[in-house]
Every structure is written in C-alpha cells, then in structure tokens.
Amino acid sequence: MTAPISEQLNADELLESGQRKMEWARQHMPIMGSLRESFEADQPFAGERIGMAMHVEAKTAILAEVLAAGGAEVAITGCNPLSTHDDVSVALDAVDGVTSYAKRGVDDKEYYEAMEAVIDHEPTITVDDGGDLVFAIHEDYPELIDTIIGGCEETTTGVHRLRAMDDDDALEYPMFAVNDTPMKRLFDNIHGTGESSLASIAMTTNLSWAGKDVVVSGFGYCGKGVARKASGQNANVIVTEVDPRRALEAHMEGFDVMPMDEAAAEGDVFITTTGNRDVIVEKHFEEMSDGVLLANAGHFDVEIDLEALEANAQRTYEARDGLQAYEMPDGRRLNVLAEGRLVNLAAPVSMGHPVEVMDQSFGVQAVCAREIIQNGDQYEAGVHNVPDELDREVAEIKLEAEGIEMDSLTGTQEEYMDSWQHGT
Amino acid sequence: MTAPISEQLNADELLESGQRKMEWARQHMPIMGSLRESFEADQPFAGERIGMAMHVEAKTAILAEVLAAGGAEVAITGCNPLSTHDDVSVALDAVDGVTSYAKRGVDDKEYYEAMEAVIDHEPTITVDDGGDLVFAIHEDYPELIDTIIGGCEETTTGVHRLRAMDDDDALEYPMFAVNDTPMKRLFDNIHGTGESSLASIAMTTNLSWAGKDVVVSGFGYCGKGVARKASGQNANVIVTEVDPRRALEAHMEGFDVMPMDEAAAEGDVFITTTGNRDVIVEKHFEEMSDGVLLANAGHFDVEIDLEALEANAQRTYEARDGLQAYEMPDGRRLNVLAEGRLVNLAAPVSMGHPVEVMDQSFGVQAVCAREIIQNGDQYEAGVHNVPDELDREVAEIKLEAEGIEMDSLTGTQEEYMDSWQHGT
Amino acid sequence: MTAPISEQLNADELLESGQRKMEWARQHMPIMGSLRESFEADQPFAGERIGMAMHVEAKTAILAEVLAAGGAEVAITGCNPLSTHDDVSVALDAVDGVTSYAKRGVDDKEYYEAMEAVIDHEPTITVDDGGDLVFAIHEDYPELIDTIIGGCEETTTGVHRLRAMDDDDALEYPMFAVNDTPMKRLFDNIHGTGESSLASIAMTTNLSWAGKDVVVSGFGYCGKGVARKASGQNANVIVTEVDPRRALEAHMEGFDVMPMDEAAAEGDVFITTTGNRDVIVEKHFEEMSDGVLLANAGHFDVEIDLEALEANAQRTYEARDGLQAYEMPDGRRLNVLAEGRLVNLAAPVSMGHPVEVMDQSFGVQAVCAREIIQNGDQYEAGVHNVPDELDREVAEIKLEAEGIEMDSLTGTQEEYMDSWQHGT
Amino acid sequence: MTAPISEQLNADELLESGQRKMEWARQHMPIMGSLRESFEADQPFAGERIGMAMHVEAKTAILAEVLAAGGAEVAITGCNPLSTHDDVSVALDAVDGVTSYAKRGVDDKEYYEAMEAVIDHEPTITVDDGGDLVFAIHEDYPELIDTIIGGCEETTTGVHRLRAMDDDDALEYPMFAVNDTPMKRLFDNIHGTGESSLASIAMTTNLSWAGKDVVVSGFGYCGKGVARKASGQNANVIVTEVDPRRALEAHMEGFDVMPMDEAAAEGDVFITTTGNRDVIVEKHFEEMSDGVLLANAGHFDVEIDLEALEANAQRTYEARDGLQAYEMPDGRRLNVLAEGRLVNLAAPVSMGHPVEVMDQSFGVQAVCAREIIQNGDQYEAGVHNVPDELDREVAEIKLEAEGIEMDSLTGTQEEYMDSWQHGT
C-alpha cells in the first residue's frame, strides 16, 4: 500500500522548497485567496472527503489546501507519472487535512497503487484531471459509488472520456465538465497552454520562434492558443485539422492549412494539440527535415508515434535535458521533447500552466465542489455542464481582484434586451 | 401599394451598374456558385415563394438569385431605410423569378409599405435580417402563418428578438438562427464586421488608426472582430462590457477594460457593437474630447443617444460625406458617422460586409432554406439552431473552393476518440 | 499658359466643398496648427516665393496655407495627373498668398504647363513630391537656380532621383531629403502607406483580407507597413525582395519570402512598393489565378507592366469604379486597381495618406523650409539629410499636442551616457 | 594568475555536458558552419592571437572554435560574472587553439584577473561584449596597443562606451561596431533579446503574460523587441522613453507612453532596456503594487537601483530560484529577477539569446575579424561601422542556409534605379 509522500521521501529536505513554491503560487492566485476566505467562514466541506488525481505541483496544491480550509479531508495523487513535484507533494502532505501520495517518476504499478491509496479514503467527491480516478473507481471500486456525491473533471481529454462513458450509460455519478466552461476554455486552454508550451520549448532548446515554420496540429482551444502565441513571436504557423470549420477558421486567421502529409516536409517545429492518437506517424518522420522539434501539448503521449520513430532510428541520445534526438539512417536528427508527453508539464524546465490561469480553472473546480455539496442531489448521474452562474461567479471574483470595473445594464437596457416589439 | 423598384426608378440608368456590381459579387462567392449549380439541377424550391427583408446590395442579390435559380419565386425588400443600393435593387428586380421593392432613403411609412408588398406575395419561407419581416407577419398578417413552412434570421439582434418572442410563445413557425452558427459568427461577425467597419470609418474620415485610443463597446463576436482588427492596425483598444466573462476575456487579450463613464474621456474613436440601446449617452458626451469619432456597428441606431447629442449641441453640420459634426457649447466637436446606423452599411463609401464572408453566411441561409423545404415538418414553431451538418456542409464547400485540403480521421483515430478504456 | 485653377473651373461650386475638406484636415493636424501660430508671429518667409509640386488635396493644402501664413508667396501644382482634388485646389487658390494650378485628369502637356506656371513665379524655395519640379528647373530653367536658396523632397523615389542627380554633380542647390527622416519614414511610410493602401483596396473591391494570400513586393518602410497591416487584418503575407537583409528581415517577422516567379501563382492580392519598374511582368501574369487583384503603392505607375497585360488580354473592362479587369485568353481575369498608380491616392475612393501622418511629414517640410531661409547659406548644393534637431522638434510638437509625457534624463544619467570609465 | 578553466575545475565531469551543449549550438548555427568551411580552407587567422571577453556559453563557444579553425590562437574570458556556463568553458578550453579562463560566479578581483590572463596572450585582435577588454587594455596595458590590429564590439552599451572613448580621442585602434549593423540590430536585439527575456521571466516565475501590464523602459531595438513580443503574448504594454521620436514611435504602434513616475503604479512587470542607470529608483518602488516583477534586459545591472531597494526593504528572501523578493515595510513584495542583471543571461533557467540569432551576430563578428586581418591597415584608430558588404555577405549566407530564394534586379531595373531622367 502506498504511504503518504512524507513517509516515502526525506521530507525535511523537500518541505521548505515545496512551501516556498506554494507561497509563490498563493500570492498569485487571488481567486483562490478569495474563496479560501469564504470557505474558512462557511466550512462547506465539513465532514466530506475529497479524492483528487491531478498534476501535483504548486498551483494544484493551493486548490487542495483551499478545499481543506473549507473543512474537507483531502487525499491526492498524481495524474501523470512525470508531472509531480516531490517537494510540493511533501509540503502539501504537511497541510492540515491533506494527505498526498504523489511522487515523480513512478512506474505504472506505483501509479495505480497511489490512486488506490486515494480511493481508500472513500471520497465523497472526486476531482480528476484526465479521468483516471473516476475510471478506476468505476472499474475496480463500484461499491464506493453509492457514497460519492459527485465530481469534477479538469481536461478536454477527461471530459471526452467521461462523455463516452456517459453515452454507454457507464457513468454512475454526476461529474462537472469543468473543462468546458468559458472560464476554463478561454483562458486556461488558449493562454495557459499556448504560453507555457512555447516557453517550455524555447527554454528547453534555446531556439527562437522568429521565422520558424511551426506546424500546430488541431485548432481547438489549445491549438488556437499555441498558433496565435507562436504567431505573436513571429513564427509562420501551419495548421492541420480534421474538422472543416476549424480548418476554415485557421485559414481565415491567416494561417496556412494543409494535411500533415504535406506539412511534415514544411515544419521546423511540430506541436500536437488534438487529443487524438497517431497524429504524427512513420510516413511523416520520413519527410521531415534534419533538426526538427517534435512536441506534444495534448493530454496523452499518443499523438506522436514514438514507437515507430524508435524503430526507424539508427541511434537515439539525449541531446539536451528533456530532448531526445532520434538519428535516422540518412543522418537526419528528429528531436522529441519531454518524451512526447505534455511539453508544458513534463519538460525539465516546465512548471505547467501559468499560475494565474490555473487560479481561474481551480476557482471553477472549487465552486463546483461546493455546488456538489450544496445541490448535489439535483444532478443525475452523468456529465453535467458547469452551471453558468458558477462560472460567472468566478469571473466576477477575478475582475474584482484585478481591480477591473465594468458597466452594468440599466433598467431600460435590460428591458430593451428582453423586448421584441421594436423595429428598425 | 409599393411597386417593384423597376417601376419606381429609371431602371435603364441603374440596371447596368447594378448588374456590374452583381457580377463582381458573383465572381467572389464560390459557395453560392456551387449551390447554384446543385439548385439548378435539383430545383428544391419549385413552387415555393420566398419573402426576404435584407440589406439589398450586391451580395444579397446573389443569394436571392440563387434561391430563384432553385425554383423559388422571390420577393425582397430592404431591412434598413438607408442600406439599399438602388442600382442593385433594379438589377435584382430584372432577374427571373425575383421582384424587388427595396429603395434607398425611404421614410418609415414607405419602409413598411414595401414590407407589406413582400408579404403580399404570401411567402412560404421568410428570410430576415433583423426580424422586421417575421414580426410584421405575426403582428399584422397572422392569417398567413399557416402556409409558412419556416424561415431564417441572419443577425444577432434578430435572433435575440425571435428568442424573446419564442419565450413568450409568440413565435408561430420555425425559424433557423443562422446568426448563431459557427460559419456565421466566426467569420461574418469577426472578420466581416471587423474589417468593413474599420475601413468604412477610415475612408469616411481619412484618419489613421495608429496610436488612436479606440473604445469598443461590447466584446461579443462583432466586438472581438472590431477590437482585434483595430489592434492589428496599431490602435490602442479599450473595451467596455456588461458581462464579466467577456470583460475578462478582453482583459486577457491585452485590452484595457473600463466602464464607459471612464472610457468616454479616453477615446479618440468610439464603436458600439452591443445590440443594446443607450450605450453612449449624454453624460458621456460631456466627457469626450474635441474631435472624437462616434460610430455604430450594431444592428440598430439606438446605441448612441443622438437625440441627447442633438439637444445639447449648439450647431450641427455635415463635416464630410457621411459624417455629422455636433458642436457643443464649449466648442468641442463630436463627429457621428452614418447617423449612428451600421457604419459598414450606411456610410456613403460603405458596401457592407466583404463579399467572401457574406458568401459564407448566405451559404448557410441557402442550405437552411433548402432544409425548410425538405424537412420543415420536423421542426416545431420556435427558434431552431442550424443543424450542425448543414453548417459543416457549407464549410466543406468553401474549403473545396479555396483548394484547401485537410486531414481525415483514420479508423483507429475515430475509435480512439470514441473509446474511454485507456489510461495515462 | 496655365491659369490659376479658379479661372479654369467653376470655382463657386467647388469652393465650399474644398474649404470643408481643408477644415477637417486642419482640425486633425495639430503640428501644422502649432507651426502656424509661430509662423504667423515670426513671418519667417516674408518676401520669399515657394514653388510646390505635390498631391493637391486637403492635407497638402494645409501645408501651403501654413507656409503662406508665414509670409511666403506660394505657387502650387500637382505631382501626379490623377491625384488632385479640384475642389481643394480651388479652395487653396482662394487662400491669401497662394496660387494653385493643380487640376485632376490633365494630360502630359497640361501637367508640365502647370509646372511651368509654378516655375514662372520664380520660386526661392521648392517643395517637391517625386522630384518633377526640381528636375524641370534644372532641365529647362537653369537661369533660376541662382536665386533658389534650397528645397525639400517628400518621397523615397524623389530622394532617389535627387541622389542620382547629386552623384552626377547635376544638383545645383541644396535639397532636404525629408523622406529620409525618422519622422517621415517611421510614420508616413509604415503607418500612412500601410493603412491607406489597404483601406483603399478594401473599399474599392468590397473584399476581405482575412485568409487572403497577399504578395507584398519590397520590404522597405512602405512594404513593411503594408505587410504588417495586412497581417494585422489576418492576411497571409508573402514578401518578394532583392536585398538579402530585407528578405531576411521579412522572413524573421514570420512572412513567407520567395521570388515573384513563384509568388505569382500563390497570391490573391499583389501590392508593389519597390520604387522600381517591371516588378510584375508578363511571365507573372501567366501564372496568376483568376480574380487576383493588382495594386501599386510605390510612387510611379511602372511597377506593374500594364502594357504587357493589355497586349495579352482578350478583353478589358471597368469591373468596378477604379478597377480595370483584364480578361486573359484562357478566361482568367486579372484586376488592376487605379491604373497601377499609387492606390492610396489614385483610386476613386482614396484620399491619400491619413491626415495625422501627413501632419508629421508636413511638419518636417515646414521646419525645413524655415531652415532654408534661416540657414540656407550653410548648405552646399546637393542632397542633405534633415538636421536631426529639426526632426526632433516636430516629434516634440506632436507629443505635446497628443498630451503624451516622457521621461527626461537626469544629470547623473546624462553623465553616465557620456562616460566610459565604468565596468561590469 | 588565473589558470585555464580546465585546471581550475574538475574538467572530466563538465566536459561532456559542455560538448553536448556545443554540439546542439553547432547544429543550429548554419552561418558559422559555412564560415568554418571557408576558414578551414583559407586559414585567414594563421599566426594571429584573438582575445575575447564574452558571455561564455555554447553559442559563443562556436564563434571561438570557428576563429580557431581559421588558424587563430584564441584566449577567452567572460564579460559578466554570472553568465559563464562552466561546462561550456571547460569544453571550449579543450578545443584546439582555444584557452578559456571564464568561470561562473567570480568576484570582481577574479573577473579582472581572468581578463588579464587573456590580455597576457598579447592578442592582435580583440573581440568584446560590453567593452571591458578594450578598456582594460587601454587603461592598464597601453604597451600592447601597437601590436593590436583591430577589434569588434558586440553590444549597444559597448559601442556607446567606445564612441565616448573615440570622442575623447582615447581609442587607439580600430574597432568595428558590430552592434550597429542591420544583421545585429534587427535580429539579435529585436528577436533575440525580445524572445529570450520574456521566456526567461515566464519560466522563472511560472506567470503568464496575458492581460499583464508590462512596462518596457526604452524603445530602442531591444525595447521594441521586448514590447512587441510581450504584446504578441497578449500583454498590455506601457513604454517609457526619453527620446521624443522613439516615444512617438511607441505611441504610433499602439503602446501607452508615460513617464516612469506614472508607469510605476500601473505595471505588473517592469523590464528595463535603456543601457542607462537609475531607470527605476526609490520613488518608483514606493508606487509599485504588491507582487510586481522587476527585470533588466540592458547590458549592465545599473538600471534598477537595487541598493535603494535593499535599503528600504524590511526583509529580503529568495522567493524562487533566480528571484529575490524585497518586502517593503507596508508589506508589499517587489520581486527582482536575476539580481537585476541581464535576465536572459543571468537567470538560472536562462541560456542567453537564441542560437539562431547569435549565429547571425557571430557571423558578422567572424567576417569582421577576417576583415581586420585582410584590410586592417585601411582603418584608422576609432570606431568603424561594419562595411555594408560584410553585413550583406552574412545575410546571403543565412538565406542560402534557410533555402530562401529572392528576386534579383534585371539590367533594366538596375539602370532604372540609377537613373533620374524620367518623370511622372
């Protein structure tokens, strides 16, 4: 059985570093700060147990401690074998009301054992990033489902999996699709994934964006973010898509659109954001130039077919920290960042999404968790959109924290918007 | 009773000019060209009567002639007293199967009489831009409703009015909300309204965007388009909003966000895109600098309170074609473009949305009209979203016309997207 | 002999329209306003005669009247047969101290006769836009050179001609290269040419920039402006160049760079800004797609080989105002805007550079004219850079007019910038 | 006396890491690769000794090895106490013909001792980055000046110091101002400084640019780069300047311009690029918000007055690696990155300018060094601009390496550009 992280590692050495990281995050997460205040006063989670499987680094830690501050008993583990910051995990484990099992570099067996340790707390709420926790519960611990009130899912990919479960009538408690809210999609995906993926690639390689041909696969919210931010650094962006409207949208923003079969020979850098598998495969490797960079900004490490690349390479070596070079028989070197895992999380220099955008996503997580407690009985089993007023609530907290004022509708204006008896 | 336009005006003088304009539009509307081919072959509208109230200029004329080519008897009038191009109206009236009653510069009485002339054709399908036609029918010709199969509405504002009717159970036949489709919102509103509003303002004033403080009211699709395109011309953009998430979205794109009470003193140019009334009112005029420009890119001319401006001005004069100067008692001059009507339509130099974006919107209109005929009985009275496959169909036609190729999902990829039994 | 414009045209009809245009320009030219005040007080040009050959429209008229306000006798004609606004020419002719000979649509003979009429005033200062006036004087009126103190030239092309003359020792009085100043190049060329060329093309064609492949020939200041502003409207920009550093600069900004032989087949719109001839020639026309737009934003109408196009076309017709269609034997239509002349001046909807950027250029012209009077004897015959302090003076006037404050160097900082005895 | 780095550190541990870094740089520096080939063949530096004081990391190492490949004996040390990568220094020291004395974290005394060790090689050519080497020679080793043929200087700041020396007639051998070439300024300063400064700040802080108010001090080439790239990441940029034309240029690009006294209260992030001292001082610290970031992208660490900050803080602590927090008496925390040194070099995650832009700068350095040998006697003592044909040569090498083709002038075009006898 997996033990809490503080019993696994030399906590003393890691604690201060983890606390320092959490302190930095705390300072730059005004939404969480505001929610902590109200949760401390109201104790909405008193008596509840919250199980979490997320990327355990400083920002997530603040979400966990804010839920704990609201009265919950929180148990957490990682949702990716490489994304845990051990020092943060230790510092989080030291927080009152939180137990952390997350450790970096676990193998598959350890990964699922840590998840079981979380499940062993018999959570009444689950918070997921990718869906592994909710899936493990449905698969292996169906007896727990009765006592689970509901849960939240953070990512596109996780929501996709949940909807597929739901379509099969296999999802047995209500889950909020946090990923699909405006507050998540518009900020986390566009700004968070966009900025942090590019900065991670730049810092891992010491290369420049200016004048580079950057192939972005997928023009969903993440792809838009990557494409626009790359363009904002003077890259020449090429988009590949499978959806005609997104393809057209990319074209109308001024990006080149073409199939990957054609883009393979054009790109200097390739960034996948599709959430699908086999986006870049053997036939594409054959077309690529010497020195290309291959990175993934989608959830799972299946977008670039690394097995095929490995099989075709005559030699592979770590050319830089976090960058594996595959030397092809003809001498071309294809450089894969972060083993094809989420480049903004798994590259050695990476720290995941920027603090501020996670503040927004986690703000939605926190108010959804509160909603589950307060009104959980009103939601049937299945995937639920986050109620609009919760999403708006988080936006309002953020604007207030930033000191941004808006207009408000006058009575006359509200009436006008509701009326229809007026003509040209 | 309003007569067809060719009987009202000296058609001979206007015909060639109108036909030349239509020819230009036809060349740059590949989606309409493709649909014409299939409609000519299939005659989906044989025996149907289509009543239209739209901005009658060259692009709309192509929609009308394509519907007529599909077998419809089309009757059309304007949806705005100032937006009709008389030469195009004459040329359209000369098209087989089309009768046009639209004339520029009509007064209120004439405006509604022309609408009645259209209604007098007893349309089986209605196509609206702002909702005036559907509203007139419900108000004054309820006896026609039984024979109307359905209709389409082009604009945000019109859809808003229809939804309000629908909420009151007052909408008695099915209407497609064309405005709400991705193909409309993402292209027409963002690129069409954005580019054409700015170009109209620049050409009316001979002024530059570089370094200007441009206040954009509303950060919906139109507002986003105006704000981004203005920023792309090196303006410094300030956004006013009433919705917290849109305000936050504007802030996160790097725009200043503030209430109009504050923005009034900051702006060099003000562009309203809210769809609401009284966005810029008396207290704002008082704060504005000498020489500001005031323009509206929302549907109706109610966003800027011109009555209050008129009442406060000591003198007004036409400073340029399409630009009225209001001289305040303290000598400041506030310059209103196009009488506060849609600046990209009503300014003298304006020709409305660019041809290509209207090709997309009208492509959706045309396939929706076809859907009404083919499957109209499947839609209840009320507002309906455009079925996604129709919207996709138009996107695919466009991509093909542009020679843009995409990827398509492999069987393995489709399976992956549908599955959920796989973990990290 | 050419008579003043007021004697050629029915002045009464045109005067008010011209005065209204000048009034608008005057309001938006704060630099000229500030200089007028000082010139009226100081009368720097008392007793001088200033000959001008410029695009005679509202902004230029303000320069002429400000010079006249400083005591000069001003005689002016056009520098392009199509760019004169007759109403402004009439209104300018009515200004005290100014005689205007400029008329729109003159033939070659009339064009040079009007120039002779200006020369007949025996100017002591010449102000040129393209160099025609200074060249005519050197060629045909060498006897006047002795009494000419100096002159100013506005454009890249004119300065280029003057430098060529200077290299041949053929330039016999001092000329300020106004074009080469930061205040001209950075604002007029980049923002002025960029914005107004694009707006002119958009309004002439009613087409959109979003998603268009726009080929920009030349990546000097004008080309940079056109390319960046087009990109800011979501066009996909392709640059052609003959200079390796500019080519590299375009590449590093993220634009595609290729030879015109290749770009010809790619572009939807072609905009020349090179100042050279034969940029787009017969072999390129053969490669172009149906419906392309061809426009010139360089000084002379020699960049696109219209003779070859005419010779190859099977039919030509005016497809829109200001747009001539050339139908090739294979049916493709190539559309030339404004007869290949400066599109932001010669298109029917065009009004030349925006008012504000001309305020800056003309500010430099005005202080250079003052410098010629005050210190003309210190300049030898030949091309001279505008003294840096004059250019700075204009920048300071503009900042003050815009209410923009800056930092100023402290004594310690000035000392630091001048010192070199400090290490790492 | 300072020993070569390999004798100071445990070379075995560092060698492989340094060589791996150099190999990566070598792969992405096509200009250096091309020059190495020609230098190896021609041995232009046979018998020469080149003394270098530069940031010793992988890219610089490639310059040093290319010069050595051309026959030079190269001695190198750092030009900044914190910017040396020890592993690269060791690997470089192991290159034939190169001795490296550079070590990270030296104190002032060690810094100058290492410089003396370089000087002890009695260089015939000096290559500087900031001017410390040339200054030390003039100050302390005037006897060497006779045998020095010439040198190159890389930075704005160094050139500034050299020009000040030159104005005092104190510079006694010819120095090429590499910094001032188009190939350096347009790419290294704009793209290199811009991208790498922002990525360093983002990765050091895990914060986002979207929606941040970023104050950029100085709108020279570096400042333009930082401002534009920050804007490209959706920051709201505020510029402070002391030069009216640059201030106006910033304003016309759409940035806010204001004095630092005002900007201090507005900014979330402050980035100095002025090359001057005391840009942000005590009175500004007082106005700043809690949590601001302070970073320097100018050469020396004098732009932010850290002494005053230290004196005013009640507590300071390292909040993150490379980020010192200064807690003010009122509780506000001001966060200084990289001790106020060049943030893109001195932050722990930083690797200096991107490889590709240094390839261009160093290409100019290398051909200038070659020019000194080939034509050094044609240059007098003092600062010299890099001959234009050398700068062009490097651009051409780069374009060829990137596979970018250009147009070339026809005979008719060249003649046209040289002629002036043609009119409108």
- Cβ distance C256 to A235 less than 8 Å, yes or no, reads no
Q: Which residue of C has its CA nearest to B293?
A: C28
- Distance between CA atoms of residues D53 and D51, nearest Å: 7
What's the pLDDT tens digit per position in B44-99? 999 999 999 999 999 999 999 999 999 999 999 999 888 899 999 999 999 999 99
Residue C320 sits at the chain B interface (C-beta within 8 Å):
yes
Say which of A132, A164, A276 has its CB closest to residue B424. Answer: A132
Which of B203-212, B221-230, C156-165 has the least mean pLDDT? C156-165
Residue C24 sits at the chain B interface (C-beta within 8 Å):
yes
- Distance between CA atoms of residues D387 and A380, nearest Å: 76
**How many CB atoms neighbour CB D17 within 10 A?**
16
CB contact residues (below 8 A), chain A span 61-80, against chain B = 79-80
What mean pLDDT comes out for the span D152-173? 91
Full DSSP string of B143-176: GGGGG--EEEE-SHHHHHHHHHHHHTT---SEEE
Residue C186 sits at the chain D interface (C-beta within 8 Å):
yes
Please determine, for residue D423, whether its predicted confidence score (pLDDT) is greater than 50: no
| Common-topology check for domains A5-184+353-402 and A191-346 | yes
- Cβ distance D276 to C416 less than 8 Å, yes or no, reads yes
- Distance between CA atoms of residues B322 and B351, nearest Å: 13
Residue D150 and residue D374 in contact, taking contact as beta carbons nearer than 8 Å: no
For chain A, residues with pLDDT lower than 70 are 1, 420-424
Question: Which residue bears the tokens 């690997």?
Answer: D91
Please determine, for residue D95, whether its predicted confidence score (pLDDT) is greater than 80: yes
What's the pLDDT tens digit per position in D18-31? 999 999 999 999 99
C76 bridge partner residues: C52, C100
Say which of D211, D234, D254 has its CB closest to residue B234. Answer: D254
Please determine, for residue B423, whether its predicted confidence score (pLDDT) is greater than 50: no
Joined together, the tokens standing for residue B192 give 């069409």
**Chain A positions in Cβ-Cβ contact with residue D404 (cut-off 8 Å):** none
- Helix runs in B28-155, H state only: 30-42, 58-69, 86-93, 108-119, 132-140
Q: Which CATH number fits domain A191-346: 3.40.50.150, 3.40.50.720, 3.60.15.10, 3.40.50.300?
A: 3.40.50.720
Rounded to a whole number of angstroms, the distance from the CA of D328 to the nearest CA of chain A is: 15
- Cβ distance D211 to B256 less than 8 Å, yes or no, reads no
Residue C54 and residue C76 in contact, taking contact as beta carbons nearer than 8 Å: yes
Residue D234 sits at the chain B interface (C-beta within 8 Å):
yes
**Pairing mode, if any, of strands D236-240 and D213-217?**
parallel
Rounded to a whole number of angstroms, the distance from the CA of B268 to the nearest CA of chain D is: 13
Say which of A211, A251, A256 has its CB closest to residue C251. Answer: A211
Residue D199 sits at the chain A interface (C-beta within 8 Å):
yes
Please determine, for residue C424, whether its predicted confidence score (pLDDT) is greater than 50: no
- Cβ distance D258 to C420 less than 8 Å, yes or no, reads no
**Chain C positions in Cβ-Cβ contact with residue B351 (cut-off 8 Å):** 203, 206
Please determine, for residue B420, whether its predicted confidence score (pLDDT) is greater than 60: no
Rounded to a whole number of angstroms, the distance from the CA of A49 to the nearest CA of chain C is: 50
The reported pTM is 0.92
- Cβ distance A208 to D354 less than 8 Å, yes or no, reads yes
Task: Please tell me the predicted confidence (pLDDT) of residue D188.
Answer: 86
Rounded to a whole number of angstroms, the distance from the CA of C46 to the nearest CA of chain D is: 30
Which of B122-126, C396-400, C408-412, D78-82 has the least mean pLDDT? D78-82
B67 Cβ contact partners less than 8 Å away, ≥ 6 residues apart: B39, B45, B50, B74, B366, B369
Residue A302 sits at the chain D interface (C-beta within 8 Å):
no
Task: Please tell me the predicted confidence (pLDDT) of residue B347.
Answer: 87
**Chain A positions in Cβ-Cβ contact with residue D208 (cut-off 8 Å):** 191-192, 195-196, 354-357
What's the pLDDT tens digit per position in B149-162? 999 999 888 998 99
Residue A153 sits at the chain B interface (C-beta within 8 Å):
no
Rounded to a whole number of angstroms, the distance from the CA of A19 to the nearest CA of chain B is: 28
Residue A282 sits at the chain B interface (C-beta within 8 Å):
no
User: Which is more confident, D82 or D217?
Assistant: D217
Evaluated on CA atoms D400, D402, D403, D404, the torsion sign reads negative
Feature table: binding site of C: 129, 154-157, 184, 188-189, 218-225, 241, 276, 297-299, 344, 353
Task: Please tell me the predicted confidence (pLDDT) of residue A299.
Answer: 81
- Cβ distance C211 to A252 less than 8 Å, yes or no, reads yes
Kindly indicate the confidence band of residue D157, based on its pLDDT and cuts at 50, 70 and 90. confident
Task: Please tell me the predicted confidence (pLDDT) of residue C91.
Answer: 97
- Give the per-residue SS3 of chain A: CCCCHHHHCCHHHHHHHHHHHHHHHHHCCHHHHHHHHHHHHHCCCCCCEEEEECCCCHHHHHHHHHHHHCCCEEEEECCCCCCCCHHHHHHHHCCCCEEECCCCCCCHHHHHHHHHHHHCCCCCEEEECCCHHHHHHHHHCHHHHHHCCEEEECCHHHHHHHHHHHHCCCCCCEEEEHHHCHHHHHHHHHHHHHHHHHHHHHHHHCCCCCCCEEEEECCCHHHHHHHHHHHCCCCEEEEECCCHHHHHHHHHCCCEECCHHHHCCCCCEEEECCCCCCCECHHHHHHCCCCCEEEECCCCCCCECHHHHHHHCCEEEEEECCEEEEECCCCCEEEEEHHHCEHHHHCCCCCCCCHHHHHHHHHHHHHHHHHHHHHHHHCCCEEECCCHHHHHHHHHHHHHHHCCCCCCCCHHHHHHHHCCCCCC
Residue A406 sits at the chain C interface (C-beta within 8 Å):
no
Say which of C231, C234, C252 has its CB closest to residue A211. Answer: C252
Fold of A5-184+353-402: Rossmann fold (3.40.50)
- Distance between CA atoms of residues D380 and D390, nearest Å: 18
Say which of D198, D207, D354 has its CB closest to residue A355. Answer: D207
Chains that touch A (3 or more CB pairs under 8 A): B, C, D
Residue D307 sits at the chain C interface (C-beta within 8 Å):
no
Task: Please tell me the predicted confidence (pLDDT) of residue A364.
Answer: 96
Q: Which residue of D has its CA nearest to B212?
A: D254
Rounded to a whole number of angstroms, the distance from the CA of D209 to the nearest CA of chain B is: 9
Please determine, for residue D1, whether its predicted confidence score (pLDDT) is greater than 80: no
**Chain B positions in Cβ-Cβ contact with residue A417 (cut-off 8 Å):** 160, 275-276
Which of A157-166, D135-144, D302-311 has the least mean pLDDT? A157-166
Rounded to a whole number of angstroms, the distance from the CA of D231 to the nearest CA of chain B is: 7
| ipTM of the prediction | 0.90
**Chain A positions in Cβ-Cβ contact with residue C256 (cut-off 8 Å):** 236
Q: Which residue of C has its CA nearest to A228?
A: C234
Please determine, for residue C422, whether its predicted confidence score (pLDDT) is greater than 70: no
Closest C-alpha among D211, D198, B256 to residue A360: D211
Task: Please tell me the predicted confidence (pLDDT) of residue D18.
Answer: 94
Please determine, for residue B229, whether its predicted confidence score (pLDDT) is greater than 60: yes
What's the pLDDT tens digit per position in C325-344? 999 999 999 999 999 999 99
Cβ–Cβ pairs < 8 A, chains C and D: 173
What's the pLDDT tens digit per position in B248-284? 999 999 999 999 999 999 999 999 999 899 999 999 9
Domain ranges of chain C: 5-184+353-402, 191-346
Residue D138 sits at the chain A interface (C-beta within 8 Å):
no
Q: Which residue of B has its CA nearest to D236?
A: B254
Evaluated on CA atoms B57, B59, B64, B65, the torsion sign reads positive
What's the pLDDT tens digit per position in C217-269? 999 999 999 999 999 999 999 999 999 999 999 999 999 999 999 999 999 99
Which of A46-50, B206-210, C2-6, D115-119 has the least mean pLDDT? C2-6
B368 annotated binding-site participant:
no
**Chain C positions in Cβ-Cβ contact with residue B205 (cut-off 8 Å):** 24
Cβ–Cβ pairs < 8 A, chains A and C: 32
What's the pLDDT tens digit per position in D2-50? 889 888 887 788 999 999 999 999 999 999 999 999 999 999 999 999 9
**Chain D positions in Cβ-Cβ contact with residue A25 (cut-off 8 Å):** 206
What's the pLDDT tens digit per position in D232-290? 999 999 999 999 999 999 999 999 999 999 999 999 999 999 989 999 999 999 999 99
Kindly indicate the confidence band of residue D420, based on its pLDDT and cuts at 50, 70 and 90. low
Preferred mutation among A360, A406, A408, A416 to probe B, highest tally of B CBs within 10 A? A406
Please determine, for residue C1, whether its predicted confidence score (pLDDT) is greater than 80: no
B254 annotated binding-site participant:
no
